[in-house]
Structure 1
Amino acid sequence: MPRRRRRWDRVSWWYSLILVVPLVGFSSVFAYQHFIEGRGYTVSVVDAYTDEPVADARVIVGTSETQTDSRGRSRVPKDAVEIRIEKDGYDPQALVLPVAGDDDIRVALRPNVVQGMIRHAGDDRPLAGITVEAHAPPGTVVATTTTGEDGSFVLRDVPEGASLVVTSADYSDVTMEIGRQTSFELALRPDVVTGRVTDTDGQPIPGARVAIGTAQATAGDDGQFRLEGAPESGDVVVKAPGYRAAIVPLDASMRIEAQLEPFQAKAIYVTADVAADPAQFQEKIDLIKRTELNAMVVDLKDSTGSVFYDTEVSLAHEIGAVRPILDPKAVVEALHANDIYAIARIVVFEDPILAEQRPEWAIHSSDGGLWRTWNGLAWVNAHRKEVWDYDTALALEAARLGFDEIQLDYIRFPSDGPLDEAEYGVEHNTETRMAAIRDFLTGVRDALAPTPAYFAVDVFGLTYWELSDGGIGQNLETIAPLVDYICPMVYPSHFYEGSMGFDIPNDHPYEVILWSLENGAERVPEEARKFRPWLQDFSYGPGIEYGDNEVRAQIQASEDFGSSGWMLWNAASEYHEGALRKP
């Protein structure tokens, strides 16, 4: 009997083999034999994130292959050297055997499929056509797709440590770490503001600038604009040269219809000392109210480097530049109470206080000391970003104080002194000078864009004639596109004898102003609406004395050209009222 039972065992084994071979294939015969005899490893495959069993994973041993069951389990031969586990939607894994421990091998597969749904944050509707990407450090796109009509998306083969990046032309971008998350439900907020800018007659204003936060846009010829990247809330600021700024609160519609009121500044310059004296300041306000004047330029920082109010810009205090004789908020309030446009003047690169206190930011002489003009004044180096940051901070503060316009003066390199001895620490030529001025103005423009304050710069009158940079970095074609107003100091007394064919240009106030503006307009016709000249209300050099008629002639020339206003300069803030029309 025992012998018969053993013979039957052998028959049973071969009978089982005959039945199994057609089912599993001859390549798996020996694996099956080991399984029957219990002479293999048990492999348990689980999801690395959920710890749930992974069924139907392929377990590959050499040329043979099995699949995990519903419990995520499979067996491999004891003599297997290496196994590989694969499953769609997971990173594959390879193991070298034997594995330390018992005969049970646990394998955790990391899922590499990320899926989700994207909807509109306002009404929960699905968003189709949204770009969804997986980025691996340092920002390389490793997987990309777009959402379907139902707002769903699937990203495959997403590596570990990747980020999910969602972008759209009409909605706010989303970037987030994927981590161990495989499913996302996202709601996108619209971040595009559209609209139209018109004047009070309903006519479009081409080139109007629209800004909120760091987002900016420019209106087209039809006045339409599209502003991308808008924040969730805030005020939209709309500005165009020749108009008053408009502030429109952003609402859920993300649509703006802005109507701008025409405005041409007709201004006088007032020193900080005059503005700080109540009687003299009121006298200037009364002059404006009695005449066609409607604006005042007030010094906040002049060519001495002094800052005339208690600024919050700490550097001004550190270098001893603060001379707090003005209350700028009170100045603005007084001007606005009388419907006067308030312009803050800030002198930039002629700043002897900053140059003396921060000599590393100054122009140096070939002997190593500070370079100085013929009058002994040290200048800061316009190539230095630290100088840019200082004056940008002052300009932004002036905007917060409520000034309608920030006007920067001395936006240039020095024009007098031993120029051939000046050392800048960098290559210094026409191109680098123009680049320094351009980059500085670009930074100020962007800083002021979301504020209601307009941005203006003063330039030499010769800049409208000089085709290069005049050795000082001022080039009309470079500067004009970066500002709201460009203000040439076209004082007839400051043109060389023979200029424009005149022996004494000072004797021809009307022609000097008109021809200079016209010449500039020929060079930058699309920017001519930004021209607002400084006119002289003083006598200087050879030629006639300037009084009512000469000042009026300059005003007439400016208006005949069609400039966006004009400004009168007198260093003592004394003006010929007879040159001005009644309101």
Structure 2
Amino acid sequence: MAVVAVVVACTALGAFGVQSYSHGIRIEGLGGDAVLDRADMADLRLTVAGKEGADLDRVRVTLDGKPVRTRPAGGRLAVRVPELTEGEHELAVRADTVLPFARDTKKKFTVDTVAPRLRLSDARVERFGAPVTVRGRVEDAGRVKVTVAGKPVSVADDGSFSRRLERSPGSIAVTATDAGGHVTSENVNVSMPYPVTRAAHLSAIGWTSPALRDPILELARKKRINAVQLDIKDELGEVGYASEVPMAREIGAVKGHYDARKVIDQLHGMGVRVVGRIVAFRDPILAEASHRAGKDRRLVQDPSGEPYNGGSYGKLSFTNFADPEVRKYNSDLAAEAAKLGFDDILYDYVRRPDGDLAGLRFPGLGEKAPEESIAEFVAETRDRVRAEGAFLGASVYGIAATRPTEIAQDIPALAESADYIAPMVYPSHWAAGEYGVTSPNSSPYDIVHRSLADFAKQVKGTNSAVVPWLQDFSMGTHYGPEQVSAQIKAAADNGMNSFLLWNAGAKYQGAALPAMK
């Protein structure tokens, strides 16, 4: 922010019978509010005028104590204003005289062409909902007003400020407003250190099978894992427990395979974290119900307005991430699950369908890029989930680190809101030659290590962790303990000690999992 102080210095000569300059000389071209913004500066014209008969030849003009040039212009003096820097200045107009009792008349104004600069400190808590203090610093402290979470705060002489909130939301708005009306707004994301989490995936219906459930619980008892990833809403659109979310019941998505509170209590009693997975925008149940009801705005469409054919996923498979009702449905499930006690809410299929963007329509998206809208959806969920004390994660494709527009997953943008990013870096899913690896599926360490290094770069500067999905299944190449162990080591060598294991059949290589302390 630039502040310009203009001083009009006029010599008083009236007491000696000579024309008075104290009220006879004036500066023209300065607004009454004494603040010039960028537009004012672009059109700045300053002149010096006097009473009729005033001898302007005897007037000297200085800026910050240094003479500035003037030229006659229609009975006035046009001031040749040099380039003004941001900051305080002083302009003086003085009649050249040797008479005593002369005085200077001063006037101040402000030039403000740059919005205030905010520097905000990270806000970290030991648990969500705990008190948090927001701290920051702003330039030009004396002329900037700051609000934190909508309330004004005092700004010290050095520009520092702080405010304590008794309950930490997910994000806290900070605004700085300067004398020129320029506003800088930023958000402080409240973060909590993500605990080391080693989880195995289990579907909702899989929980009902002792043959699938018990071996996973045994891995937890032996401290091979310390978390279970249990589906809340799966790829079919089925909600695994008896949800009370109105839309889930309206469209027939509620299946009630398990009692969420009992399962969570059981796992917590074992010291095991519970990661609840919500398959967000791949949702055949919601898609079909919406189409039947004539609400195709909830669906991804083709250019003709028909439901988009998702290929192997089916025609009525992908719902529209830009639709408010679709977004609310998923965030309602996330908030309910967090309130039930799930430690994490992990979004999956938080993306657009892959394929040529020209062949897709997203009603309501407007001018936004798909990846921007999806990142905003994750941010909308954050406060609701954190209010219940849960972490928020986002599962992403491995290619998203380098090709964010292919499926609309912008990793830096998602990392601003998610507590962790969960890249699916399964070796079997990489094409030959990716990251310089000739055969990714037979080189699990190399492909996982190199791809995760990219994700580490993408989240740098955010408070988001990287918790990769690792492959514990065979596809084209047999995967046993050695291959799974190689991936775990590749993640650890990138400083990532948390991971999620995927096997659709919920059968895991316990021998690949070292016991946790």
**TM-score between the two structures when normalised by the length of structure 1:** 0.55
SS of 2:229's equivalent in the other structure is strand
**Aligned match of 1:511:** 446
**Aligned match of 1:187:** none
Query: Which amino acid is the alignment partner of residue 434 of structure 1?
Result: E
Distance in 2 between residues matched to 1:559 and 1:478, nearest whole Å: 24
Q: Is the 8 A contact 2:233 2:240 kept in 1?
A: yes
Q: Is the 8 A contact 1:274 1:280 kept in 2?
A: yes
**Aligned match of 1:173:** none
**Aligned match of 2:374:** 437
Structure 1's unaligned 5+ residue stretches are 1-204, 240-257
Q: Is the 8 A contact 1:461 1:489 kept in 2?
A: yes
**Aligned match of 1:380:** 319
SS of 1:342's equivalent in the other structure is strand
Summarize the Cα distance change of 1:399–1:426 in structure 2 as closer, same or farther, 3 Å threshold.
closer
SS of 1:553's equivalent in the other structure is helix
Summarize the Cα distance change of 1:560–1:227 in structure 2 as closer, same or farther, 3 Å threshold.
farther
1:361 and 2:361 aligned: no
Match of 2:344 among 384, 396, 405: 405
Give how far 1:524 is off: 3.3
1:42-121 alignment runs, 5 A limit: none
1:375-524 alignment runs, 5 A limit: 375=312, 376-378=314-316, 379-416=318-355, 420-426=358-364, 431-466=368-403, 468-470=404-406, 472-524=407-459
Query: Which amino acid is the alignment partner of residue 337 of structure 2?
Result: A
**Aligned match of 2:180:** none
1:336 and 2:268 aligned: yes
Distance in 1 between residues matched to 2:192 and 2:205, nearest whole Å: 34
Query: Which amino acid is the alignment partner of residue 414 of structure 2?
Result: I
Distance in 1 between residues matched to 2:419 and 2:345, nearest whole Å: 10
Query: Which amino acid is the alignment partner of residue 527 of structure 1?
Result: T
Give how far 1:279 is off: 5.5
Summarize the Cα distance change of 1:382–1:438 in structure 2 as closer, same or farther, 3 Å threshold.
same
- Number of corresponding residues: 350
Summarize the Cα distance change of 1:329–1:446 in structure 2 as closer, same or farther, 3 Å threshold.
same
Distance in 1 between residues matched to 2:387 and 2:378, nearest whole Å: 15
Q: Is the 8 A contact 1:291 1:580 kept in 2?
A: no
Q: Is the 8 A contact 1:457 1:485 kept in 2?
A: yes
Query: Which amino acid is the alignment partner of residue 435 of structure 1?
Result: E
**Aligned match of 1:268:** 200
Structure 2's unaligned 5+ residue stretches are 1-120, 138-146, 152-163, 172-189, 291-295
Query: Which amino acid is the alignment partner of residue 349 of structure 1?
Result: F
Give how far 1:237 is off: 7.8
Distance in 1 between residues matched to 2:425 and 2:352, nearest whole Å: 19
Query: Which amino acid is the alignment partner of residue 497 of structure 1?
Result: A
1:294-305 alignment runs, 5 A limit: 294-305=226-237
**Aligned match of 1:184:** none
Give how far 1:447 is off: 1.4
Give how far 1:474 is off: 0.4
Deviations 1:91-135 (A, max 9, x none): xxxxxxxxxxxxxxxxxxxxxxxxxxxxxxxxxxxxxxxxxxxxx
Give how far 1:369 is off: 2.8
**Aligned match of 1:525:** 460
Deviations 1:293-338 (A, max 9, x none): 1011000100111111111101111111111111111110111010
Give how far 1:283 is off: 2.9
SS of 2:485's equivalent in the other structure is helix
Query: Which amino acid is the alignment partner of residue 266 of structure 2?
Result: A
Summarize the Cα distance change of 1:291–1:444 in structure 2 as closer, same or farther, 3 Å threshold.
same
Summarize the Cα distance change of 1:405–1:260 in structure 2 as closer, same or farther, 3 Å threshold.
closer
1:567 and 2:505 aligned: no
Query: Which amino acid is the alignment partner of residue 281 of structure 1?
Result: R
Distance in 2 between residues matched to 1:333 and 1:493, nearest whole Å: 36
Distance in 2 between residues matched to 1:316 and 1:457, nearest whole Å: 21
Greater percentage in strand: 1
Distance in 2 between residues matched to 1:516 and 1:528, nearest whole Å: 20
Summarize the Cα distance change of 1:313–1:396 in structure 2 as closer, same or farther, 3 Å threshold.
same
Summarize the Cα distance change of 1:464–1:293 in structure 2 as closer, same or farther, 3 Å threshold.
same
Query: Which amino acid is the alignment partner of residue 400 of structure 1?
Result: K
Q: Is the 8 A contact 1:211 1:236 kept in 2?
A: no
The percentage of aligned residue pairs carrying the same residue is 32
SS of 1:458's equivalent in the other structure is strand
Q: Is the 8 A contact 2:130 2:167 kept in 1?
A: no
1:20-31 alignment runs, 5 A limit: none
Match of 2:239 among 302, 307, 310: 307
Match of 1:319 among 238, 243, 251: 251
Q: Is the 8 A contact 2:131 2:165 kept in 1?
A: no
**TM-score between the two structures when normalised by the length of structure 2:** 0.62
Query: Which amino acid is the alignment partner of residue 498 of structure 1?
Result: G
Give how far 1:377 is off: 4.0
Distance in 2 between residues matched to 1:427 and 1:573, nearest whole Å: 37
Distance in 1 between residues matched to 2:133 and 2:405, nearest whole Å: 29
Give how far 1:217 is off: 6.2
**Aligned match of 1:194:** none
**Aligned match of 2:482:** 549
